[in-house]
Amino acid sequence: LSGGLETVHYGPFTAFITDTGGCYGAWCAGNVYEEFEVTTLGATLLRTYLEVPANQDADFFLVYDSDDNGVSEQGVDAVVGSSGNASGTDEEILLENPTLGRYWAVIDGYDVDPDSGIDIDWWYEITAPGDLPTDPVDVFSDTVTIEQDTPGDPFTASFSTTVTAGERAGGLQATLTNIPAGANVDLYVTNITGTIVASSTNTSNISETVTLRPAEGKYRFEAGTQYIIWVLGEDVPTPPVNPVLRVWWDRLNVWLTASHPDASVNSIGAGEMVSITFHFDKPGWSPGDADLSARLIAGPSVLPGAFDELVTITRAEPPGPPEWNPANLTVSITADSARGLSPSSRWLVGGAPIPTALVAAGERVTYTVSVANLDPLDSPDLIVDAWPLPEDYVCTYFGYCESTGQVDGVDYGLITGTTGTTDYGGGIGWTGAISSGDSIEFSYWVEMPITMTVGQNHTSGVDVYYSDWTWFNWALAGGYYRALEYGIGGSYKTAPATVLAGDTFTYTVHLENFSAEDPHIYLSDPLPDEVDFVSITGDATYDAGTHTVSWDGMMPGGTNHAPVDFDIVVTAKDTLTYTTLIENEAVLTQTGVITPLTTLYASTMVGTGASLEIEKTVDAISGYVGDTLGYTIAFRNTGIEAASGVVMSDTVPSELDVIGDTVMATKPGVAYEDGLISWEGDLAVGEAVTVTFQATINETATPWLALINAARVKAVNHPTEMYDSALTEIFPYYYYYLPIVVRSYP
């Protein structure tokens, strides 16, 4: 048994590092090696950390002195950890169960500015077992009478007392205080055989202290072990004197016992087993006090530490009987109307919009209350109350009334509800307990006043109380007279978004009214000059004289009402050029009102039918300096439209010398200048061009160099550049020298 884990911090330490020129590794020239040692027995974790300044890039390595000679040596000492994060990011290395010995924290200045060097901080932490938790238990605490004894002979001491270790004795301590001036009294501890095992022999009247720990490798004294405490009058000019002696055991809060026939905790024979019990006890240990922690370590001598388990015990209150948790009660209220739900709400609860229905003057909102018990226990008696009715909840409770657009209802009524739901006049309520997994529900309507105006809002709420009327939960919902200007809208889409000149495409118009007003709407869409009208669907009409599409009609407000949809089919004129943008704008107005409600936009791009492909090949995948390579570049237009302003380019590597008179093309337009081979011209639909040339590998080409370069092609109406590459690897020359053997025959 060993103490629980504790972490000890060392540092920070400052090192000066220089730039290593982008070298990454534990053995780069210029690396800094910071030496430290891990000597803590049972260490479970070594953490090393490098604090990297902003805009600096230093890397971190951990090296172990494998041969324990104090010199960091590549190929001998092991690199046991590394960290190579991005610039400005700290580096961290974690090494579990580190081997005891010497380490180097290696700092690599991969890319630091200035190159001459910077200061950088690093530190490390070692996590290892601490002391076992104990409580002091006094066995003696009183004054003792001391005479002049034989100096240096504890067995002539004026006072002695014998103490006996229990099974939880983790340490023995004694102090001698209040020694009078002029007297010298010493303190000794002997075992039962008379051997002195601890002593404190300060001069003069300085207090004495002794501490006795179990033998190496033991965590406690053997139960029944006895020690004798001796108080010796070394020099007492005026006897007697009466110092204060205190003796106590450090009683373990955690300990082990083991029992099995013919077995002990120290030795387990072949085929035997031992049962170990882990105990803990701490008088006065209260909830919230520090945990008890210890490591249980076991294993044979040939495999020490095979079992190593950290045990942590936390003091907690004993669990009481389970209680119903009100947080597991869900409370909701929804709103609905003939017009449907509103896309927006006037109020938020907890940052979320409350459920809201669209409603106009004189219309009704239906509210539905639901309360569900998701707790594993049945709820206590509850009161679920929707009040006041038909008044506005926000106005009544919070005072936000006409100034915030709130309006009271003029009537209400219960629609349906779980058994026990009652309309008590001015409110609707339910009382009772809700079983685990069950719920209750009731619905009611509230009628809006005929004087309700656009923009006003009605809010209804439900509150939940315990049976003593202690409030603990609520929910809100509302009815909103949403204005036409916020609810009218739609979309104008074109499909496809990119067309060719002469192509037919479709505009799709979608109109919706998510307000609580019922207007007559007029849409006008003057079609772009770049298109010709083909057809139209729905109730929309086309006026050829003005090249305009229009639609008008009633649009009742509400999400429950069907939207207006129609398609306009047109053709892009065949005279349009690449990148022409066809823009279409439709205006939506309320009949009889000049100011538009909204404008819908659609745009279509005229694309290209050209499609370019390119392929580059070389006649050798490897070669030597002086070899001549043959290159072929083939490019073509596979589209349905001519490619105009085509440019093909190939920048030849400097390790190649182009043979100028070999540069040829199957169609005029090829050129060669300063290492650049190019071709310019137009390509008809399906047309292809092949460019060929030869080049010699010159002396600047180094062995194993990969000669690779790309040929690229693009056009005015095909701006996306296409490319392909060819590769040749350079081989070195090898020379073999053979001996000449001359033999004479008789």
Does some domain include residue 225? yes
The answer to whether residues 278 and 173 belong to one domain is no
Number of structural domains in the chain: 6
Residue 290's domain comprises: 266-313
Concatenating the DSSP letter of every residue in 471-495 gives EEEEEEEEEE---HHHHEEEEEEEE
Does some domain include residue 556? yes
Out of 552-556, 560-564, 695-699, least confident range: 560-564
pLDDT in tens, 713-722: 999 989 889 9
Q: What are the phi and psi torsion angles at 523 (to 5°)?
A: -115, 135
The answer to whether residues 469 and 331 belong to one domain is yes
Which CATH number covers residue 531?
2.60.40.740
The answer to whether residues 341 and 437 belong to one domain is yes
The domain boundary residue, chosen from 589, 606, 623: 606
pLDDT in tens, 296-336: 887 776 777 777 788 888 898 888 889 999 999 999 999 99
The reported pLDDT for the residue numbered 735 is: 65
The answer to whether residues 707 and 619 belong to one domain is yes
Q: What are the phi and psi torsion angles at 486 (to 5°)?
A: -95, -20
The answer to whether residues 7 and 122 belong to one domain is yes
The answer to whether residues 272 and 344 belong to one domain is no
Cα separation, 117 vs 20, in Å, equals 10
- How many other C-beta atoms are found inside a 10 Å radius of the C-beta of residue 385? 21
The answer to whether residues 332 and 451 belong to one domain is yes
pLDDT in tens, 269-293: 777 777 788 899 999 999 888 788 8
Does some domain include residue 488? yes
The answer to whether residues 471 and 560 belong to one domain is no
Pairwise pLDDT comparison (261 vs 352), residue with the higher score: 352
The answer to whether residues 580 and 697 belong to one domain is no
Cα separation, 393 vs 365, in Å, equals 14
Does some domain include residue 426? yes
- Order of all β-strands in the sheet with 439-447: 329-336, 364-373, 439-447, 411-417
Cα separation, 167 vs 684, in Å, equals 101
Which CATH number covers residue 458?
2.60.40.1170
pLDDT in tens, 14-71: 999 999 999 999 999 999 999 999 998 878 899 999 999 999 999 999 999 999 999 9
Does some domain include residue 53? yes
Q: Is 328 left (phi over 0), alpha (psi -120 to 50) or beta?
A: alpha
Q: Where are the beta strands (DSSP E) in 299-374?
A: 307-313, 329-336, 348-349, 352-353, 356-358, 364-373
Does some domain include residue 318? no
Does some domain include residue 178? yes
The answer to whether residues 571 and 617 belong to one domain is no
The answer to whether residues 248 and 305 belong to one domain is no
**What is Dmax (Cα atoms) for the chain?**
143
The domain boundary residue, chosen from 583, 606, 629: 606
pTM higher than the cut 0.75: no
Structure token pair of residue 474:
């609520």
The domain boundary residue, chosen from 208, 227, 252: 252
The answer to whether residues 457 and 337 belong to one domain is yes
Does some domain include residue 744? no
